[in-house]
Amino acid sequence: MKEFNVVLAGVGGQGTLLAAEILGTAALKDGLNVRVSEIHGMAQRGGAVTSDVRIGENVLASTVMDGQADVLLGFEPLETLRNLKYVSEKTLIIMSDERIAPTELAAKNKAYPSMKEILDKIHRFTKNVVVVETGKLTEAAGSSLTQNTVMIGALAASGKLPIKKESLLETVRELVPAKHLDMNAKAFELGYESVKQKPKTV
C-alpha cells in the first residue's frame, strides 16, 4: 500500500488525540509505516482539534495535503464541515451526530445548523458519508467518554482502513485506562456493528 490518509476532526475533550494514537499504534502492530501529526488547534475542552494519521510506504511527512484524505473522521458535525478542505469525491466521511456548539455561534447569536444543512454542504464534496449515532451508542456502552472508541469501531467496519480489527482492539486495551476497558471494548463493537448493519452512506 502506497498511501492512506485519515484526518480526525473534533473538539477538545472528545478523545480525538487518543483515537489518533490508537490508529497509529495499531498500524505499527501490523508492520505498516505510519506518521501521526502533532495536534493542530487548541486542546482545551471545546477548542477545535485535528490530527492526521498517514499510513503507507510512500508516507514521509505527517500532515495530509488538501484534498488528499481517504477518510475524514468527524467527531463533531461543524468541525467536520470546517475540515472539508481535505476532502475529495473519493473521501469517505464518518461523522458523529453529537453536536457541540462552538462559543462563536453564541457570541454571534447564530443558530447551530441543522443536520440536513450540514449534509447538503458535505455532499458538494463527497457522497460517501456515514453518520454515527454516537450519543445512543455511548449510552449503551456505559459512558459518554467512549465516543472515540465508537468512532474507531465505525472506521474499522468501513472496510477502508488498512489495519486489522484485532490490532485496533488490542491497542484500545493497551492505551485505555484499565477501569474503563470493558466499556471501551463494548463501545468499539457497538460502533463497528452500527456501520456493518446500516446502509453505507447517507
Residues 6+ apart with CB under 8 A from 10: 16, 48, 49, 50, 74, 75, 76, 79, 96
Closest CA to 40 of 79, 95, 94: 79
What domains, with CATH codes, occur in the chain?
A: 4-197 (3.40.920.10)
Task: Give the mean pLDDT of 178-184.
Answer: 94
Contact between residue 97 and residue 118 where contact means Cβ atoms under 8 Å apart:
no
Contact between residue 43 and residue 10 where contact means Cβ atoms under 8 Å apart:
no
Q: Write the pLDDT tens digit of every residue in 94-114.
A: 999 999 988 778 778 889 999
pLDDT score, position 61? 84
Q: Are strands 92-96 and 71-74 parallel, antiparallel or unpaired?
A: parallel
More reliable by pLDDT, 80 or 106? 80
